[in-house]
A and B are shown apart, each in its own frame.
Chain A
């Protein structure tokens, strides 16, 4: 077993993670297991339950430069009631936007169970000066964000400056106050599953409430093996320290089938306790419509037309 911060044995972080061991990851075995989990057959009543659950854990997301208040308002309306024609469809977990649109979302979601999530901290690269990043987090929280999604400083992490990466997350956690902190690892840039596991442990020890795969801004986003790798890290964290950390998968999740593969991976790795919005999220923009379509197909055996669903 390797110590998390073996490269910097004398730093304060090593003390902070005393007792947390990081086990290596075998890529072949990990991918084989993930592929195996994705062959689980989800039928009838299980499918119905999985579809509703994937709505309940969804962070409905829009992170475009061209976002408008109107688009965010429409998204919030869908978040509260995803299917205008069917009140049995549950609300999603949160709406995720850029800080500028947090006030719009906060107003639109007032008195609803749907949380407001904001990316902050120099999303998506996290390379702005730290004080600006922390300021942005504070601003978003003050504007009404219940949850803040920041990025891991990959520049620090990949160059082995783990202490810096750790300190920044710890500072971000402080800047969040009572808001929940999700740390995006941008797994597609980390280069190996060993690095993903190491970054997961670092973020969790530094104070992340959730660890999250991706920004959605680069080509490689959430994949089943990545999700499994992070879920295994979360399980180790819980076993070694008793701290429970959530998992958010984001980027490229477009179909209901992908969603329930992820539910299976999380459910079989971490147990049913993680299959709830407090511990698990699916960040997506176009997933909702496919889930609604599958849900309605399960009800009356027919597929709806794409035009029957909102484009936002």
Chain B
């Protein structure tokens, strides 16, 4: 395109202030309403992925600590939480929601420092949605008798909840809010690389006067997680994370009588028909795969685009990718922040290399990556076949594979040609086609003319290797109740 006497609108650095965050040098475990030292005294550093520098030392809970936490949760459940009227439990949840809102800026900055996601996302999505989730389930706490017609909902007991690193506070909210609303007590285990907002949440829970032991937070590694899952005092396990770990948990719990819900990986198809609003499609694709650097289980990592508009869409997409700003996650103009850890960056790099080796064509926009920290540019693969690893395996990074289709039937076949089934996107101006496609998608969440939209009232969860059970909405109560006549 011809360029006249143009102007390069550069954005000067606009860093969010870190002043609201007060970091301790060391954090213990939150058990029975107190911060306590891990029994064995083991600590591990949590790192700012944008700089590679350690932020704080975090306690690593072992089996003895897990035992203490489960005992505290059990005592709190038996000691009154299960018998508390729903309206009283709701008061605590509302209080937590309000405190999260009051301290939203602090939570957002801390989330970005510990996890590497852009401040724009933690500020506009993660924290507001976390607060919304507490508000939403606070509303259910005193209406459980009417949630399941003709049956009463009884609490289960102690829930063990293991959450991932991609949406640390939001996943904590998704897990805690329905469990508490239904009268359960909880032992929550945050991910090893992103424990800080969960520990700040512990402060909020204390400020909300939540009775001691109702929520316990044990930081640690996979040994901690395994001890928690295996603990006989646990009545229910909820896990969000990788399919491999989910499968192992499923095998371990088989026959134990413990309830289990799993929210695992995905390889979502984002399907674009030729009559769609192509400029908004482009935004939707970008939001689908580059949101949180693609470290999203429901990311639209496979783009299925109708052959007649494939070149147009890829052209628009590449042009849009050129404007994505990769860099300091704390800068308010950053679109793509840091990858969560060196290990994750290595995995992404390895899979991108496999795509190139298998013959797919790689496009990355010209962008300067910061010298330190863990960063990956947005990547787009064309000439991808359904046999390539990049179109089959979950990458969990900013990497999109483009495939084409001719007919709606072919789109359905290709979209469902994955062991996963978490989400799908359909882009067309034709309403009847949206319904026809949605009926045929083997995915728990189907978005039409949008992608990666979340709402507390809307159930979220998977099919097949993406797990089972739903979070959000009325359906999100079910994993935490026993229905009795």
Give the residues from 223 to 248 in chain A that come closer than 8 angstroms, CB to CB, to chain B.
Answer: 232, 238-239, 242, 244
A29 to B274, CA, bound (A): 17
Partner-binding segment picked from A5-13, A40-48, A61-69, A119-127: A40-48
Give the residues from 257 to 280 in chain A that come closer than 8 angstroms, CB to CB, to chain B.
Answer: 263-264, 267-268, 271-276, 278-279
Please tell me if the beta carbons of B12 and A43 are within 8 angstroms of each other in the complex: yes
A275 to B7, CA, bound (A): 5
Partner-binding segment picked from A20-28, A152-160, A201-209: A20-28
Please tell me if the beta carbons of A49 and B9 are within 8 angstroms of each other in the complex: yes
Task: Knowing A39-B120, A271-B1, A273-B6 are in contact, say whether A26-B280 is a contact too (CB < 8 A).
Answer: yes
Chain B residues with CB under 8 Å of A30's CB are 277, 279-280
Q: Is B323 an interface residue (CB 8 A)?
A: yes
| CB of A41 to closest CB in B, whole Å | 4
Chain A residues with CB under 8 Å of B12's CB are 42-47
Please tell me if the beta carbons of A46 and B280 are within 8 angstroms of each other in the complex: no
Task: Knowing A26-B277, A41-B14, A44-B12 are in contact, say whether A32-B6 is a contact too (CB < 8 A).
Answer: no
Chain B residues with CB under 8 Å of A43's CB are 11-14
Chain A residues with CB under 8 Å of B332's CB are 39-41
Q: Chain B: which residue is nearest A272 at the CB level?
A: B6
Give the residues from 149 to 194 in chain A that come closer than 8 angstroms, CB to CB, to chain B.
Answer: none
Q: Is B284 an interface residue (CB 8 A)?
A: yes
Q: Is B276 an interface residue (CB 8 A)?
A: yes
Please tell me if the beta carbons of B1 and A32 are within 8 angstroms of each other in the complex: no
Taking a contact as CB atoms closer than 8 A, the residue among B4, B13, B315, B449 that contacts A278 in the complex is B4
Taking a contact as CB atoms closer than 8 A, the residue among B6, B281, B323 that contacts A274 in the complex is B6
Give the residues from 1 to 38 in chain B that come closer than 8 angstroms, CB to CB, to chain A.
Answer: 1-14
Q: Is A53 an interface residue (CB 8 A)?
A: yes
Q: Chain A: which residue is nearest B451 at the CB level?
A: A29
Name which of A42, A49, A271, A276 has the most chain B CB atoms within 10 A of its CB. A271
Name which of B276, B429, B449, B450 has the most chain A CB atoms within 10 A of its CB. B429
| CB of A132 to closest CB in B, whole Å | 34
A262 to B44, CA, bound (A): 47
Q: Is A33 an interface residue (CB 8 A)?
A: yes
Q: Is B142 an interface residue (CB 8 A)?
A: no
Please tell me if the beta carbons of B6 and A276 are within 8 angstroms of each other in the complex: yes
With an 8 Å Cβ cutoff, the count of chain A residues facing the other chain is 39
Q: Is A1 an interface residue (CB 8 A)?
A: yes
A271 to B9, CA, bound (A): 9
A268 to B6, CA, bound (A): 13
Name which of A23, A33, A42, A49 has the most chain B CB atoms within 10 A of its CB. A23
Q: Chain B: which residue is nearest A236 at the CB level?
A: B279
Chain A residues with CB under 8 Å of B9's CB are 46, 49-50, 53, 263-264, 267-268, 272, 275
Chain A residues with CB under 8 Å of B67's CB are none
Chain A residues with CB under 8 Å of B283's CB are 29, 32-33
Chain B residues with CB under 8 Å of A263's CB are 9
The majority secondary structure among interface residues of chain A is: helix
Chain B residues with CB under 8 Å of A275's CB are 6-7, 9
| CB of A303 to closest CB in B, whole Å | 21
Q: Is B275 an interface residue (CB 8 A)?
A: yes
| CB of A238 to closest CB in B, whole Å | 5
| CB of A148 to closest CB in B, whole Å | 20
Please tell me if the beta carbons of B277 and A23 are within 8 angstroms of each other in the complex: yes
Please tell me if the beta carbons of B6 and A29 are within 8 angstroms of each other in the complex: no
Q: Is B333 an interface residue (CB 8 A)?
A: yes
A32 to B286, CA, bound (A): 13
Please tell me if the beta carbons of B278 and A23 are within 8 angstroms of each other in the complex: yes
A285 to B429, CA, bound (A): 40
Chain A residues with CB under 8 Å of B278's CB are 23
Please tell me if the beta carbons of A232 and B5 are within 8 angstroms of each other in the complex: no
A257 to B276, CA, bound (A): 33
Name which of B6, B276, B284 has the most chain A CB atoms within 10 A of its CB. B6
Chain A residues with CB under 8 Å of B279's CB are 23, 25, 29-30, 232
Give the residues from 331 to 383 in chain B that come closer than 8 angstroms, CB to CB, to chain A.
Answer: 332-333
A230 to B323, CA, bound (A): 19
A112 to B429, CA, bound (A): 50
Please tell me if the beta carbons of B4 and A46 are within 8 angstroms of each other in the complex: no
A244 to B283, CA, bound (A): 23
Give the residues from 299 to 323 in chain B that come closer than 8 angstroms, CB to CB, to chain A.
Answer: 309, 315, 323
Chain B residues with CB under 8 Å of A49's CB are 7, 9-10
Task: Knowing A29-B450, A271-B1 are in contact, say whether A1-B13 is a contact too (CB < 8 A).
Answer: no
A24 to B278, CA, bound (A): 7
| CB of B431 to closest CB in A, whole Å | 13
Task: Knowing A29-B284, A30-B280 are in contact, say whether A276-B11 is a contact too (CB < 8 A).
Answer: no
A116 to B281, CA, bound (A): 40
Chain B residues with CB under 8 Å of A278's CB are 4-5
Q: Chain B: which residue is nearest A274 at the CB level?
A: B6
| CB of B183 to closest CB in A, whole Å | 38
A197 to B3, CA, bound (A): 23
A276 to B7, CA, bound (A): 7
| CB of A44 to closest CB in B, whole Å | 5
Chain B residues with CB under 8 Å of A41's CB are 11, 14, 332-333
Q: Chain B: which residue is nearest A263 at the CB level?
A: B9
Please tell me if the beta carbons of B280 and A29 are within 8 angstroms of each other in the complex: yes
A276 to B9, CA, bound (A): 11
Please tell me if the beta carbons of B277 and A24 are within 8 angstroms of each other in the complex: yes
A46 to B12, CA, bound (A): 5
Please tell me if the beta carbons of B11 and A40 are within 8 angstroms of each other in the complex: yes
Chain B residues with CB under 8 Å of A42's CB are 11-12, 14
| CB of A195 to closest CB in B, whole Å | 14
Please tell me if the beta carbons of B274 and A1 are within 8 angstroms of each other in the complex: yes
A260 to B13, CA, bound (A): 16
| CB of B378 to closest CB in A, whole Å | 15
State the A residues within 8 Å of B (CB).
1, 23-26, 28-30, 32-33, 39-47, 49-50, 53, 232, 238-239, 242, 244, 263-264, 267-268, 271-276, 278-279
State the B residues within 8 Å of A (CB).
1-14, 120, 124, 274-281, 283-284, 309, 315, 323, 332-333, 429, 449-450
> 10 closest Cβ contacts across the A-B interface?
A29-B280, A41-B14, A273-B3, A275-B7, A26-B277, A26-B280, A267-B9, A41-B332, A273-B6, A272-B6
**Given A29-B277, A33-B280, 4 other A-B contacts at CB below 8 A?**
A24-B275, A26-B429, A29-B281, A273-B6
Can you spell out 29 A-B residue pairs with CB atoms less than 8 angstroms apart? A1-B274, A1-B309, A25-B277, A25-B279, A26-B276, A26-B280, A26-B449, A28-B280, A28-B450, A29-B280, A29-B450, A39-B332, A40-B332, A40-B333, A41-B14, A47-B12, A49-B7, A49-B9, A238-B1, A239-B315, A244-B4, A263-B9, A268-B323, A271-B6, A272-B6, A272-B8, A273-B1, A278-B4, A279-B4
